[in-house]
Chain A
Amino acid sequence: MACSDELPDTNQQENNGHGCDLRGRVWKALLGIYRISALEYVTLVQRGLSPVAEKIQNDTFRTLMTDRAFQDRVSNEMLTRILNAFVWKAHDQPPSRLMNLRFSYVQGMNVLAAPFLYVLPELDAFFAFSSFIQNSCPLYVQPALEGVHCGLKLLDRCVEEIDPDLFKYLQSKQLTAKVYAFPSVMTFSVCTPPLDQALHLWDFFLAYGVHLNILCIVAQLLNMRDDLMNNQRLKSVISPMKLLRSFPDLDAGTILATTQTLIPRLPEDLYDMLVRHTFDPIVCDMLLQEPDADVRG
């Protein structure tokens, strides 16, 4: 549904802190949030500032600063509470025996919490955010951001597979994913305005898998392809590095349409790694041992 019938924009009236609108309910269902405990959240909030509160404080007030609708709706205090509560929750959990995962606060998590607080009431947002972090993309928020680095490597590979000419061109300018796509990968595209378009992308990610963000970034590159490559002939117009510094505003409809044509074009083993890279440490370890695209010849 998230894909075929577009979800309506987040409803300001319906979700005024008391209930969830349609998108909110769909997101919760997709994340498997069937029950929430107000007591648990209140208890976590009552513990006050976490050991990394200072780091959090440093980022919350500059989260999506340029988005008016977000600023009107989500306060600094809400972000601070949800992030500190998450740190306490993670603090209490024994590290998993199977995968040596550690959760705390890393820069960028503030941006990941933003869509949840925008779409859902704070209490629901906390549980949805926690599930997203711990289940959907646990490797993205490890202290060294291993998952993000894997995502970047896979992005290079997907571009190479789908558009070898573009890949070679970018590579010749030393523009590998690590240089131009770090924010888009880490924040699942929320770093690119406007937020309401990013939310449509998230409908798709939550329904079909958060790994699809990588292909949405490929789609954005393909949409900019002419501008990027034209620079070859028209020297000194706008350098590709400048063009890629901040991506054009998101247009979810176009991006998703392109993305869906990309999926069947990827070899199965690459797609399999793509699916697993956000949560599977085996894929992550394997990818991180391979040389970077900028040193591959």
Chain B
Amino acid sequence: MRGGRKALLKVIILGDSGVGKTSLMNQYVNNKFSTQYKATIGADFLTKEVLVEERSVTMQIWDTAGQERFQSLGVAFYRGADCCALVYDVNNVKSFENLDSWRDEFLLQANPRDPENFPFVVIGNKVDVEESKRQVTQKRAMAWCQQKGNIPYFETSAKEGINVEQAFFTIAKNSLKQEADVELYSDFPDPIKIDGDTSVAKSAGCEC
């Protein structure tokens, strides 16, 4: 992991409550879909080893509660993210309209070095639901993605396992690309011992 090329990618999944963030993560990592899902409290996380451009990388996927927004989770959850997947439900227009604020809040909280070029991926989930229920057209979603700097867009079904693999593969690939630009930065650096010497100094006596 040393030498600037980290093998760990941190991916954050965001979006309104109930759009299927946890299901997407579970489908991708475990190839499973459960109707017995529960609302995520705080955050949940899974890891998966993937091979991208002949490199083995560990993807650490952080699934967040979709309701209380960032202020409730704290910066620690978003710090050091390599990619952010914004998820909405194609049958719920409000969840699509909220993508703007999810994106803005992510940039505010995660505070990436180069916000203009930070890799996002947009996922329109639940395409398995009948067409008549659909509220957001592909065209509309793609227009939004284009306007935000050509964000890659995927339509998925976590239930049927449609396009999930492809979406996450793009996430991994773009995270790595990002990493090449921002080198020598690791989520998990070796700890810097700042108290190593001071504790000795302290025990030697009071300074006042």
Q: Complex formed: what's the CA distance from A41 to B168 in Å?
A: 48
The number of chain A residues with a CB under 8 A from chain B is: 35
Residues facing A in B60-92 (CB within 8 A) are 65-68, 71-72, 74, 76-77
Interface string of B25-43 (1 = CB under 8 A from A): 0000000000011110111
> B17 and A59: CB pair below 8 A?
yes
> B68 and A110: CB pair below 8 A?
no
Interface string of A54-92 (1 = CB under 8 A from B): 010011001111100000000000000000000000000
Does B97 have its Cβ within 8 Å of any Cβ on chain A?
no
> B38 and A63: CB pair below 8 A?
yes
Instruction: Determine how close the nearest CB of chain A comes to the CB of B9; give it in whole angstroms.
Output: 14
> A55-B17, A62-B39, A182-B42 are known contacts. Are A145 and B76 too (CB-CB below 8 A)?
no
Total A-B pairs in contact (CB under 8 Å)? 80
> A182-B41, A191-B41 are known contacts. Are A58 and B17 too (CB-CB below 8 A)?
yes
Interface string of A122-149 (1 = CB under 8 A from B): 0000000000000000000001110011
> B41 and A65: CB pair below 8 A?
no
Which label, helix, strand, loop or mixed, suits the secondary structure of the A interface? loop
- B37 to A, closest residue via Cβ: A62
Q: Complex formed: what's the CA distance from A3 to B71 in Å?
A: 37
Which label, helix, strand, loop or mixed, suits the secondary structure of the B interface? loop
Does B1 have its Cβ within 8 Å of any Cβ on chain A?
no
- Looking at B114-122, B123-131, B141-149, B186-194, the stretch in contact with chain A turns out to be B186-194
Instruction: Determine how close the nearest CB of chain B comes to the CB of A287; give it in whole angstroms.
Output: 13
The number of chain B residues with a CB under 8 A from chain A is: 29
> A172-B191, A297-B191, A297-B195 are known contacts. Are A107 and B45 too (CB-CB below 8 A)?
no
Does B109 have its Cβ within 8 Å of any Cβ on chain A?
no
Interface string of B153-171 (1 = CB under 8 A from A): 0000000000000000000
Instruction: Determine how close the nearest CB of chain A comes to the CB of B92; give it in whole angstroms.
Output: 10
Q: Complex formed: what's the CA distance from A175 to B90 in Å?
A: 35
Does A225 have its Cβ within 8 Å of any Cβ on chain B?
no
Interface centre among A63, A145, A174 (most CB of B within 10 A): A145
Residues facing B in A161-186 (CB within 8 A) are 172, 174, 176, 178-179, 182-183, 186
- B77 to A, closest residue via Cβ: A178
> A63-B38, A65-B37 are known contacts. Are A144 and B195 too (CB-CB below 8 A)?
no
> A65-B36, A143-B72 are known contacts. Are A179 and B45 too (CB-CB below 8 A)?
yes
Given the complex, which residues of B lie within 8 Å of A63, measured CB to CB? 38-39
> B67 and A106: CB pair below 8 A?
yes
Q: Complex formed: what's the CA distance from A297 to B195 in Å?
A: 7
Does B44 have its Cβ within 8 Å of any Cβ on chain A?
yes
Residues facing A in B1-49 (CB within 8 A) are 17-18, 36-39, 41-47
> A241 and B68: CB pair below 8 A?
no
Interface centre among B67, B77, B194 (most CB of A within 10 A): B67
> A297 and B43: CB pair below 8 A?
no
> A58-B17, A106-B67, A178-B74 are known contacts. Are A111 and B36 too (CB-CB below 8 A)?
no
> A174 and B188: CB pair below 8 A?
yes
> B191 and A183: CB pair below 8 A?
no
Instruction: Determine how close the nearest CB of chain A comes to the CB of B136; give it in whole angstroms.
Output: 18
- B38 to A, closest residue via Cβ: A62
Q: Complex formed: what's the CA distance from A220 to B191 in Å?
A: 27
Given the complex, which residues of A lie within 8 Å of B43, measured CB to CB? 179, 182
Q: Name 24 A/B residue pairs within 8 A (Cβ), A-sorted.
A: A58-B67, A62-B37, A63-B39, A66-B38, A106-B72, A107-B41, A107-B65, A107-B66, A110-B39, A143-B68, A143-B72, A144-B71, A174-B187, A174-B188, A178-B77, A179-B43, A186-B41, A186-B42, A241-B47, A242-B47, A294-B76, A297-B193, A297-B194, A297-B195
Given contacts A63-B38, A176-B76, A179-B43, 4 further A-B contacts (CB under 8 A): A55-B67, A58-B17, A58-B39, A108-B39
